Structure 1
Amino acid sequence: MSKNKNVTFAWAVKNIIWPRRKTIFIGLLLIIVTRPAGLVLPWATRYLIDDVAANGDLELLKWLLLAIVTALTVQAVGSFLLTRILSVEAQYLISELRVKVQKKVLSLPISFFDNTKSGELVSRIMTDVEGVRNLVGTGLVQLVGGILTSAISIFFLIQMNPYMTALTLIPVSIFGIIALKAFGKIRPIFRERGKINAEVTGRLTETLNGVRVIKGFNAEASENKTFEQGAVKLYENIKSSLTATAFVSSMGTFLIGLASAGVLGMGVYYIVQGEMKAGELLSFISFLGFMIAPILQMSNIGSQLTEAFAGLDRSEEIMKMDPEDQTSQRPIVLDKIQGDMEFHDVSFAYEEGKEVLHDINFKAPPGSVTALVGSSGSGKSTTASLAASFLTPQKGLITIDGHDLSKVNLESYRKHLGVVLQDDFLFEGTIRENVIFPRPNATEDEIQAAVKGAYVDEFTDRFEDGLETLIGERGVKLSGGQQQRISIARALLANPKIIILDEATSNLDTESEMYIQKSLNMLMKDRTTFVIAHRLSTIRQADQILVIEDGEIVERGTHDELIANEGRYFDLYTYQNRI
Structure 2
Amino acid sequence: MEHIKDSSKKRDKSRPKVTMVKAFKTIIWPKRNLVFIGLVLIVIRSLAGLVLPWQSKVLLDDVVPSKDASQLFSLIAIVLTAILIQAITSFSLTRILSVQAQYLISELRAQVQKKVLSLPISFFDNTKSGALVSRIMSDVEGVRNLIGTGLVQLVGGTFTAIVSLIILIKLNPWMTLFVFIPLSIFGYIALRAFKYIRPVFRKRGKINAEVKGRLTETLAGVRVIKAFNAEEQENRVFEKGVDKLYQNVKKSLTATALMTSSSTFLIGVATTGIMGIGGYYMIQSDMTTGDFLFFTLILGFMIAPIVQMSNIGSQLTEALAGLDRTEELMNMTAEEDNQDRIIQLEQLNGEIVFDNVSFAYEEDKEVLHNISFKAPAGSVTALVGSSGSGKSTIAGLSATFLNPKSGIVTIDNQDLSKVKLSSYRQHLGVVLQDEFLFEGTIRENIMFPRPNATETELENAVKAAYVNEFTDRFDKGLETLIGERGIKLSGGQRQRLAIARAILADPKIIILDEATSNLDTESEALIQKSLNQLVKDRTTIVIAHRLSTIKKADQILVIESGHIVERGTHDELIAQGGRYYDLYTYQAKI
TM category, shorter: over 0.9
**Alignment CA distance shift 1:35-1:404 (3 Å):** same
Query: Is the 1:505–1:533 Cα contact (8 Å) retained in structure 2?
Result: no
For residue 369 of structure 1, what is the aligned residue in structure 2? 380
Give the match's secondary structure for 2:335. Answer: coil
1:561 to 564, 567, 572: 572
For residue 546 of structure 1, what is the aligned residue in structure 2? 557
Query: Is the 1:341–1:398 Cα contact (8 Å) retained in structure 2?
Result: yes
Please tell me whether residue 436 in structure 1 is matched to residue 444 in structure 2: no
For residue 262 of structure 1, what is the aligned residue in structure 2? 273
Q: Deviations over 1:287-334 (max 9, x none)?
A: 100000011111111111111111111111111111111263311111
2:224 to 187, 192, 213: 213
Please tell me whether residue 379 in structure 1 is matched to residue 382 in structure 2: no
Give the match's secondary structure for 1:485. Answer: helix
Please tell me whether residue 348 in structure 1 is matched to residue 359 in structure 2: yes
1:308 to 305, 319, 330: 319
1:498 to 509, 515, 518: 509
For residue 403 of structure 1, what is the aligned residue in structure 2? 414
1:275 and 1:492 map into 2 onto residues whose CA distance is 93
1:88 and 1:111 map into 2 onto residues whose CA distance is 37
TM superposition shift of 1:15: 2.8
TM superposition shift of 1:12: 2.2
2:450 and 2:126 map into 1 onto residues whose CA distance is 30
Please tell me whether residue 245 in structure 1 is matched to residue 256 in structure 2: yes
1:477 and 1:290 map into 2 onto residues whose CA distance is 62
Give the match's secondary structure for 1:325. Answer: helix
**Alignment CA distance shift 1:126-1:510 (3 Å):** same
Query: Is the 1:399–1:405 Cα contact (8 Å) retained in structure 2?
Result: yes
For residue 191 of structure 1, what is the aligned residue in structure 2? 202
For residue 98 of structure 1, what is the aligned residue in structure 2? 109
Q: Name the aligned partner's letter for residue 37 of structure 1.
A: A
CA RMSD of aligned residues (A): 1.4
For residue 45 of structure 2, what is the aligned residue in structure 1? 34
Give the match's secondary structure for 1:455. Answer: coil
Q: Deviations over 1:379-401 (max 9, x none)?
A: 00010010001111111111111
Please tell me whether residue 19 in structure 1 is matched to residue 19 in structure 2: no
**Alignment CA distance shift 1:472-1:7 (3 Å):** closer
Please tell me whether residue 507 in structure 1 is matched to residue 518 in structure 2: yes
For residue 319 of structure 1, what is the aligned residue in structure 2? 330
For residue 420 of structure 1, what is the aligned residue in structure 2? 431
Please tell me whether residue 181 in structure 1 is matched to residue 192 in structure 2: yes
For residue 55 of structure 1, what is the aligned residue in structure 2? 66
Query: Is the 1:190–1:307 Cα contact (8 Å) retained in structure 2?
Result: yes
TM superposition shift of 1:541: 0.8
1:522 to 518, 533, 550: 533
Query: Is the 2:202–2:321 Cα contact (8 Å) retained in structure 1?
Result: yes
- What TM-score do you get using the length of structure 2 for normalisation? 0.96
2:171 to 140, 160, 165: 160
TM superposition shift of 1:410: 0.7
For residue 150 of structure 2, what is the aligned residue in structure 1? 139
1:75 and 1:437 map into 2 onto residues whose CA distance is 52
2:467 and 2:78 map into 1 onto residues whose CA distance is 78
Q: Deviations over 1:39-78 (max 9, x none)?
A: 1111222222122222334454343333222211111111
Report how many residues are paired.
579
Query: Is the 2:359–2:367 Cα contact (8 Å) retained in structure 1?
Result: yes
Please tell me whether residue 123 in structure 1 is matched to residue 125 in structure 2: no
For residue 288 of structure 1, what is the aligned residue in structure 2? 299
Q: Deviations over 1:204-244 (max 9, x none)?
A: 11111111111111111111111111111111111111111
1:217 and 1:145 map into 2 onto residues whose CA distance is 58
2:200 and 2:212 map into 1 onto residues whose CA distance is 18
**Alignment CA distance shift 1:310-1:266 (3 Å):** same
For residue 123 of structure 2, what is the aligned residue in structure 1? 112
Give the match's secondary structure for 1:334. Answer: coil
- What TM-score do you get using the length of structure 1 for normalisation? 0.98
TM superposition shift of 1:6: 5.6
**Alignment CA distance shift 1:444-1:6 (3 Å):** closer
**Alignment CA distance shift 1:280-1:4 (3 Å):** farther
Identity rate of aligned residues, in percent?
68
TM superposition shift of 1:531: 0.5
2:14 and 2:337 map into 1 onto residues whose CA distance is 28
For residue 498 of structure 2, what is the aligned residue in structure 1? 487
Q: Deviations over 1:407-452 (max 9, x none)?
A: 1111111110000012200111111111111001001111111111
Q: Which stretch of the first structure deviates more once superposed, 374-383 or 455-464?
A: 455-464
Q: Which stretch of the first structure deviates more once superposed, 11-20 or 329-338?
A: 11-20
Give the match's secondary structure for 1:426. Answer: coil
For residue 584 of structure 2, what is the aligned residue in structure 1? 573
